[in-house]
Amino acid sequence: MHLRTRHVLNRAFTGLGYVATSIMAGALLVLLVPIFVRGAGAIVFRGTVEFRRYLFEQEGRGDREAVHNEIAHARAARAPVYAMLAEAEKEIATAPLTRQRELRSALAELRDAIRELLGPDPGQRTPVLLRQQYGQTRWDRALVKLHEVLYTETWDYSDPSGMGRKVYVPRAEAFTGLGVTALFPYVETHLSAMLRPRLTLYWGFLTDDSRDAHFFGGIMPELLGTFYLTVGAMLIAIPLGVLTAIYLAEYAGDNMAVRFLRSCMSTLAGVPSIVFGLFGLAFFINTLHVSHSKSVLAGSLTLALLVLPTVIRASEEAIRAVPHTYREAALSLGASTWRTVCTVVLPAALPGILTGIVISMGRAAGETAPIIFTAAVSVGVPLKLWEVFNHPTPALSWNIYNVSTEHEAVDEIRHVQFGMVCVLVGLVLLLNLTAIMLRARIARKLKG
Amino acid sequence: MDEAGAQGIADKGAREVTTRGCCPPSGLLLSAGARRRQRFFHFLGQGFLFGVASVSAIAVFFIFIFIVRDALPFCTWARLRDFFTSTRWYPSGSPPEFGALAIMYGSMMVTVGAVVVAVPLGIAAAVCLSDVLPFSLRQVVKPVIEILAAIPSVAYGFFALVVFAPLLQDHGGRVLAILVWLFGVPVGALAVLVASDMLSRRLTSGGERRGQGLIAAALATVVVIALVWLSRRAATIQIDSGTNALNVSLILGIMALPTIVSVSEDALQAAGSELREGSYALGATRAETILNVVIPAASGGISAAIILGFMRAIGETMVVWMASGNAAQLPRPLYNYLMPVRTLTATIAGDMGEADHVTGSERYHVLFVMALVLLLISFACNSFSEWIIWRRRKRLGV
Amino acid sequence: MKYGVVGGIVALSVGVIHLFASQQTTIVLDGSTTVGPLAKAFAEHFMQQHPGVKITVSESGSGNGAKSLINGTCHIATMSRAMKPEEVAAAAEKGVKAVAHVVAIDALPVLVHPSNPLTNLTLAQVKDIYLGKITNWKELGGPDVRIVKISRDTNSGTYECFEELVMKKEKMADDVEYVGSNGAVRQRVMTTPAAIGYAGLAFVDKKVKAISINGVAPCAETARNKTYPIARPLYMYTNGEPPQGSLLEQFVNFYKTAKGREITEAIGFVPVN
């Protein structure tokens, strides 16, 4: 090959490496940016007066005076709307009979649309479902609903060879000649007076229970469930894992049994997570009966098995990384192996072990498949500590699946889904950052 | 009791000043009784530790036993034949049919897709990490890999379902076109360089500069035209459903990436600097050194990395359950990645809810057969990668 | 050491918990995703009325609900189909007497994308679509587009209901796409112009078009008077009649109360009389 070509090729090769690395980093960005940006929307958003009314009435939060004041202002701004609707009713009664039916149904649809936007009409009996008791609590959703008030969505099927096309028809067209047409420009221009959007910081998303199937409220039960499951799994996996690592690093020789153990561990690490789930169901619940049915305990046990190989590997590496001189010094002072391990090796290896533990914690918190059959339910209240042994729990990972596929109104609660994903990913990233920082400290210590 | 044993060793060790390694020392200071006691506790402690260590071995055994136990009732010759050869999956029909061929094909399809995405990217990134990037940049890239590995699978699944699937469905053609460019440009550039060099040598004896430049330019034009044509073609493709094999393959590829990168980077590092220096001394460029010397030397580790990535992809549940479309069908044509597929893991996760083992239904047991298939695949992969490492070690004589 | 303490705590707590668990302050529901929204809303209101009561709802499929009831791992199995004879038999074997409570009626609307000009199909046409005999909307007078068939997962009560009422036990073509929940069916149909699917009445809104079957539009009225052909009752199964006045009894009969009926209607099901 030409020398020059070789050089160009060399450059190109380097470039290829850079391209691959940047694709990887790009993938991470593409993944994280929407999750964090839209996830933050669950906590920071433009909340309407309906949101503050909800908080005050259902959670007892907020200043009574201020909330009432605001509601009164909003009511005043909304009054013309309802007046116009009432007027329309009368007008329709006097309209030609041929048009009356059509007008009535158009008006009923309009009323429905307005109810979705602003909440129940004044004087209407309180609806039973929470989601119908309040108007739009979020300004971004309110704008979507405003569009539904202003326009009807119809489909144009005039082209028989293709699918229909979506056409937005201004709702006002259905009411031509009636006074109620004035309602549409009024709603459009006065929407912010009627809903009074304000930048809201809703930490309750993290600390409140879900209300009305996640239409309102927060994700406390899920968060708590994830916490219990993770901590439970680590409580079981840490002693087992660290003791195993001590055995492998300090006691075990290189014989058949140990080699067999090691190969079992790597097999365990390779078992698909869903198989862990099946095993947890068949073994812990159906055979050992650790609990009556799904429970945090059964889930934790399953997760513990799942993260065990990771804990072992990380701990063993950390223990092996402790310089031999440490051990020799301790042994020469007359300490037994066990004592050496406990007082010298383990403290020295602790940061490394912690790193492994923290990473496994992230893994346990994020796993879904093993807890489907062993611990997770879609609705539940936060558990008390002593209830973890026989109660199932909602958990972040499972409920992300649940609310984004099985929920009856998946696109009404997108912000909750993104919020949950954001919290889970944030949690795991936080754990990993801790691990990275721990490792950096170890590196510095070893250097210095 | 076991704890007491371990504790006993520690106490004893403190009281009776002796050193003890793996083999008991000849305790000159101790009486015969004390020595016996000491040895007893030592063994007890070691036994206890061995017991703890074997928990994972026991777990593996139990997993196998329990999966096999629940899979066995399904295993008659006729049913197994159907399971592996038929594509008709009607678990609730009467009579039910359990042909899992399409499902296994789906699993294979998305896994192969993931490997195709992840392997070139992963190895290139690993090479870049081990040989190209300066230390400071490496410190930035490594956490990126760790974070990619740490993100929970359900978050990937959510992304695939809520962000990526609608994107594919609404702008599928454009996404495909971008993918064509993303892969076509680097590959095309390399191909042009190599081909122009070879051609110029064949056409012009001696190799004039201008000759090669001209050829390169001509080839580059051809490649660009081909890419434009391809991307135009791709842009016209209408994707019926965004939840399909392509979507899942891409996401699984990203998920398998960290495993492949970190394991193959370790292998590349382990190849050692002597090899590299030797190659440089012979006048090879970095690219040549890596391609001809380092990668062959690290091939064992790299194949282990690929296998581990494969295992990660085939065992993944949430992403495929949420975003693969779950249609138990063979895609038509067979390589059509734009059709929805269904995988073993998703079938287990989805069908377990209905399969009732109380009535001892076949439906329950067939899921365990699927789990067994998965387990055997991962076991085989694992053994294979261990064998590769073992063979290497033997060859190196360590 | 650490081990012993943890073990001790575990043992002690398990004992204490089993004592507590015998008191019925917890109601565990397991089963259908179709009944899910109803069960969740009932649970929430019931918990508001009776503070201190804990209700958990799993949506893991009708069969799983039955399984849990038979195994005694839930108090109420929510099901979108009746228990099969084998399940009843298995229950009897374990000493569980499954008692059915029909809590609501649900219609199974056939859904298409709103851009689809069709408004009515016959039951036979729907069947032919899912059998693969009709593959293009053109054959039904629609545009020339290949039909994308969406079905609930074969593991669901909804599927079994559809299989019985529409398919008459014949098997669906193998290019039918299966999705795991009613919400997912709606989502697939909503985003796929060429799609056809079916889901519970509660999952129908403006984003999808519920077409008439044999000229009858699916709604509460037609489901109740049985003119809409694809309707089914939704069940809650308990182990024996729950004791009078117990919380379980109150919960199971919640659907009869005015509040319960209102919730049922608000969610989109048809209350039973």
CA C182 to chain centre: 8
Minimum CA–CA partner of B162 in chain C: C187
> What is the rounded average pLDDT for all residues in chain B?
84
**Residue B8 banded pLDDT, cuts 50, 70, 90:** very low
> Which of C14, C59, C143 comes nearest A389 by C-beta?
C14
> What's the domain range around A315?
220-447
Statement to judge: residues A76 and A110 lie in one domain:
yes
In chain C the first and final C-alpha atoms are separated, in Å, by: 62
Q: State the DSSP code for A56.
A: I
DSSP string computed for A147-177: HHHHEEEEEE---TTS--EEEEEEGGGGGTT
User: CB distance A272–B317 less than 8 Å?
Assistant: yes
Neighbouring residues of B31: CB distance < 8 A, sequence distance ≥ 6: none
Question: Per-residue pLDDT tens for A40-79?
Answer: 999 999 999 999 999 999 988 889 999 999 999 999 999 9
Statement to judge: residues A194 and A240 lie in one domain:
no
Question: Per-residue pLDDT tens for C6-29?
Answer: 555 555 555 444 444 444 578 889
Residues of chain C with pLDDT under 70: 1-24, 155
> Which of B121, B132, B156 comes nearest A14 by C-beta?
B132
Residues of B in contact with C58 (CB under 8 A): none
Q: Is C160 on the interface with B (CB under 8 A)?
A: yes
| pLDDT for B16 beyond 70 | no
Best of A163, A243, A346, A411 to disrupt the C interface (most C CBs within 10 Å) is: A163
> Which of C66, C156, C171 comes nearest B356 by C-beta?
C66
Neighbours of chain C (3+ CB pairs under 8 A): A, B
Statement to judge: residues A173 and A296 lie in one domain:
no
> Which of A164, A372, A377 comes nearest C56 by C-beta?
A377
Return the pLDDT at C170.
Answer: 86
Residue from A98, A105, A129 nearest A116 by CA: A129
Share of chain A above pLDDT 70, in %: 99
Distances (CA, A) of A138 to A43, A195, B195, B261: 11, 9, 60, 43
* Highest mean pLDDT: which range of A33-37, B242-246, C37-41: A33-37
Return the pLDDT at C156.
Answer: 74
User: CB distance C18–A239 less than 8 Å?
Assistant: no
Statement to judge: residues A171 and A270 lie in one domain:
no
Residues of A in contact with B190 (CB under 8 A): 9, 12, 16
Neighbours of chain B (3+ CB pairs under 8 A): A, C
| pLDDT for A205 beyond 50 | yes
Domain B72-396 has CATH 1.10.3720.10: yes
Residues of A in contact with C116 (CB under 8 A): 163-164
Q: Is C180 on the interface with B (CB under 8 A)?
A: yes
Domain of A394: which CATH number? 1.10.3720.10
**Residue B3 banded pLDDT, cuts 50, 70, 90:** very low
User: CB distance B132–A336 less than 8 Å?
Assistant: no
φ, ψ at C257 (rounded to 5°): -70, 160
User: CB distance B57–A264 less than 8 Å?
Assistant: yes
Return the pLDDT at B1.
Answer: 34
Amino acid at A328: E
Return the pLDDT at B23.
Answer: 45
Alpha-carbon distance of A359 to A370, in angstroms, equals 18
CA C131 to chain centre: 24
Minimum CA–CA partner of A294 in chain C: C73
Return the pLDDT at B5.
Answer: 40
pTM: 0.89
Neighbouring residues of A143: CB distance < 8 A, sequence distance ≥ 6: none
Alpha-carbon distance of B130 to B87, in angstroms, equals 45
User: CB distance B378–A270 less than 8 Å?
Assistant: yes
Distances (CA, A) of A420 to A38, A94, A205, A431, B141: 11, 53, 9, 17, 27
Return the pLDDT at A125.
Answer: 85
Partners of C100 in beta bridges: C237
Asked whether residue A89 is assigned to any structural domain, the reply reads yes
Cβ atoms of B82 and B97 within 8 Å: the answer is yes
Alpha-carbon distance of C16 to C12, in angstroms, equals 6
> How are beta strands A165-170 and A198-201 bridged, if at all?
unpaired
Asked whether residue A207 is assigned to any structural domain, the reply reads no
User: CB distance C17–A386 less than 8 Å?
Assistant: yes
User: What's the whole-number mean pLDDT along residues B213-223?
Assistant: 87
Give me the domains of chain C, ranges plus CATH numbers.
21-105+234-267 (3.40.190.10), 109-224 (3.40.190.10)
Alpha-carbon distance of A184 to A181, in angstroms, equals 6
* The two structure tokens encoding residue B90: 């009607």
Label residues A121-145 b or e (16+ Cβ within 10 Å = b): eeeeeebbbbbbbbbbbbbebbeeb
Cβ atoms of B325 and B244 within 8 Å: the answer is yes
Cβ atoms of A136 and A116 within 8 Å: the answer is yes
Statement to judge: residues A404 and A272 lie in one domain:
yes
Burial of A302 (0-12, 13-18, 19+ CB in 10 A): buried
User: CB distance B55–A266 less than 8 Å?
Assistant: no
Asked whether residue A33 is assigned to any structural domain, the reply reads no
User: CB distance A309–B56 less than 8 Å?
Assistant: yes
Return the pLDDT at B2.
Answer: 38
> Which of C117, C181, C182 comes nearest A164 by C-beta?
C117
Statement to judge: residues A272 and A398 lie in one domain:
yes
Residues of A in contact with C44 (CB under 8 A): 211-213, 379
* The two structure tokens encoding residue A248: 């492998």
Q: How many helices (H) and strands (E) does chain A have?
A: 18, 6
Q: Is B90 on the interface with C (CB under 8 A)?
A: yes
Alpha-carbon distance of B367 to A281, in angstroms, equals 13
Q: Is C266 on the interface with A (CB under 8 A)?
A: yes
Q: Which of A301-315, B343-357, C116-130, C243-257 has the lowest mean pLDDT?
A: B343-357
Best of C153, C160, C162, C191 to disrupt the B interface (most B CBs within 10 Å) is: C153
Packed helices A220-246 and A414-447: angle between N→C axes, nearest 10 degrees:
30
User: What's the whole-number mean pLDDT along residues A124-149?
Assistant: 91
Question: Per-residue pLDDT tens for C72-102?
Answer: 878 899 998 888 888 888 888 888 899 999 9
Residues of A in contact with B6 (CB under 8 A): 338
Asked whether residue A181 is assigned to any structural domain, the reply reads yes
Residue from A367, A357, A288 nearest A317 by CA: A357
Question: Per-residue pLDDT tens for C135-152?
Answer: 999 999 888 888 989 998
Cβ atoms of C74 and A293 within 8 Å: the answer is yes
Statement to judge: residues A309 and A386 lie in one domain:
yes
φ, ψ at A275 (rounded to 5°): -70, -35
Angle (nearest 5°) at CA B255 between B254 and B256: 95
Q: State the DSSP code for A248.
A: I
User: CB distance B358–C71 less than 8 Å?
Assistant: yes
Statement to judge: residues A225 and A195 lie in one domain:
no
Return the pLDDT at A64.
Answer: 93
Answer with the residue of higher pLDDT: A3 or B261. B261
Asked whether residue A337 is assigned to any structural domain, the reply reads yes
Best of C29, C115, C162, C175 to disrupt the B interface (most B CBs within 10 Å) is: C175
Residue from B183, B44, B198 nearest B120 by CA: B183
In chain A the first and final C-alpha atoms are separated, in Å, by: 48
Best of A112, A124, A128 to disrupt the C interface (most C CBs within 10 Å) is: A128
Neighbouring residues of A104: CB distance < 8 A, sequence distance ≥ 6: A92
Residue from B134, C150, B20, C257 nearest A339 by CA: B20
Residues of C in contact with B164 (CB under 8 A): none
User: Of chain A residues 332-371, which have a CB less than 8 A from chain B?
Assistant: 332, 334-339, 342, 359, 362-363, 365-369
Beta strands in C35-176 (DSSP E): 54-59, 76-79, 98-107, 110-112, 120-121, 148-152
Partners of A155 in beta bridges: A166
| pLDDT for A323 beyond 50 | yes
Question: How many domains does chain A contain in total?
Answer: 2
Q: State the DSSP code for C146.
A: B
Share of chain B above pLDDT 90, in %: 36
User: What's the whole-number mean pLDDT along residues A268-279?
Assistant: 92
Return the pLDDT at B7.
Answer: 40
Alpha-carbon distance of A229 to A227, in angstroms, equals 6
What is the least distance, in Å, from the CA of A379 to any CA of chain B? 17
Amino acid at A371: I
